[in-house]
Amino acid sequence: MAAASEIEEGTVLQPKYDADGIVTAVATDAVTGDLLMVAHMNAEALAKTVASGEAHYYSRSRRKLWRKGEESGHTQRVVEMRVDCDQDAVWLKVEQTGPGACHTGRKSCFYRVVPLGQSGAAKLAFREADKAFDPGGVYKK
Amino acid sequence: MAAASEIEEGTVLQPKYDADGIVTAVATDAVTGDLLMVAHMNAEALAKTVASGEAHYYSRSRRKLWRKGEESGHTQRVVEMRVDCDQDAVWLKVEQTGPGACHTGRKSCFYRVVPLGQSGAAKLAFREADKAFDPGGVYKK
């Protein structure tokens, strides 16, 4: 195992995969800076993203690699990719093709606000209630 | 287990914790929009963040809850909190106190770029090589 200094201050990409072989991937809109989605990558998804400049992720629930947009057409071209200090997360600044990144039909997956200063049950508030596209028409069921 | 429609389109916060009781937490700078860090929360960290408006996280390696800045003084006041479609990730827009969020002494944990269009070993490029503060003087070893 590499020393912390080498991982944090070195120039070698050596992702710290978890027990399931996964790192976290955060995608933001390269133009607006908005957070679009949080997903995951295994080594193959990471390698394909680096090689192609197109975002690839790994679905933990479906246990498969997917190229973002392969079904919806809403691909993500990676403008810049970064890795964090301990190399267990990557940040993709992307050009999002089409109306949105979220499978619910919205631009961003983060369309609901959690109210602060409360204890107990919190009632979420929608920020982007209207859908940018019809997911039923874009994603095969 | 709640139906997908209720989780994605409802107004009840019902985080989807993983097998270790964890959700992903992404913190961005509320002013600049920059991605500061990716961390994790258990139910207690999430509840304390919502109740106090101060970012609390859960360290998987140290297996303990921590209030961001409790050691360094570099606290994060949460300006807005959002939850994603399947409720396994939250987004904190924060006011970062002090010079930086990263324990290495930098503003952001994402201070290295992964070059694209290459296969094989990638040489990381520093974007924020200089440290905003001296981690040795801020964090107890």
Q: What is the mean pLDDT of residues B34-50?
A: 97
Alpha carbon separation from A13 to A6, A27, B114 (Å, rounded): 10, 19, 8
Q: In this complex, do B13 and A127 lie within 8 Å of one another by their Cβ atoms?
A: no
DSSP-assigned letter for residue B90 = E
Instruction: Examine the pLDDT at B107 and tell me if it is beyond 90.
Output: yes
Q: What is the mean pLDDT of residues B101-127?
A: 91
Helix (H) / strand (E) containing A48: helix A43-52
* A56: helix, strand or coil: strand
Q: Which residues of A touch B35 (CB under 8 A)?
A: 26, 28, 35, 82, 91
Residue B141's pLDDT band (boundaries 50, 70, 90)? very low
Share of chain B above pLDDT 70, in %: 95
Q: In this complex, do A114 and B38 lie within 8 Å of one another by their Cβ atoms?
A: no
Of residues B84, B113, B123, nearest to A81 (C-beta): B113
Report pTM. Answer: 0.93
Return the residue matching tokens 């992903």: B24
Q: What is the mean pLDDT of residues B41-57?
A: 97
Of residues A82, A103, A109, nearest to B114 (C-beta): A82
Of residues A78, A110, A122, nearest to B84 (C-beta): A110
Task: Kindly provide the ipTM of the predicted complex, given to two decimals.
Answer: 0.92
Q: In what order do the strands lie in the sheet with A89-96?
A: A35-41, A23-29, A89-96, A76-83, B112-113, B125-126
- A55 vs B136 pLDDT, higher one: A55
Tell how strand B89-96 and strand B23-29 pair up. parallel
- B138 vs A39 pLDDT, higher one: A39
Residue B4 main-chain phi, psi, to 5 deg: -60, -40
Instruction: Examine the pLDDT at A141 and tell me if it is beyond 50.
Output: no
DSSP-assigned letter for residue A60 = T
* A91-137 tens-digit pLDDT: 999 999 998 999 999 999 999 999 999 776 779 999 976 788 888 87
Q: What is the mean pLDDT of residues B58-63?
A: 93
Q: What is the mean pLDDT of residues B56-69?
A: 95
Q: Which residues of A touch B90 (CB under 8 A)?
A: 114
Q: What is the mean pLDDT of residues B69-97?
A: 97
* A48-97 tens-digit pLDDT: 999 999 999 999 989 999 999 999 999 999 999 999 999 999 999 999 99
Provide the pLDDT for residue B15. Answer: 96
Q: E-assigned strands of B16-134?
A: 23-29, 35-41, 56-59, 64-67, 76-83, 89-96, 112-113, 125-126
- A114 vs B122 pLDDT, higher one: A114
Residue A23's pLDDT band (boundaries 50, 70, 90)? very high
The distance of A3 to chain B (nearest Cα, Å) reads: 14
The average confidence (pLDDT) of chain B is 92
Angle at A130 between CA B80 and CA A134, to 5 degrees: 130
Q: What is the mean pLDDT of residues B61-66?
A: 94
Q: Are B88 and B24 in contact (CB under 8 A)?
A: yes
Q: Which residues of A touch B86 (CB under 8 A)?
A: 109
Instruction: Examine the pLDDT at B11 and tell me if it is beyond 50.
Output: yes
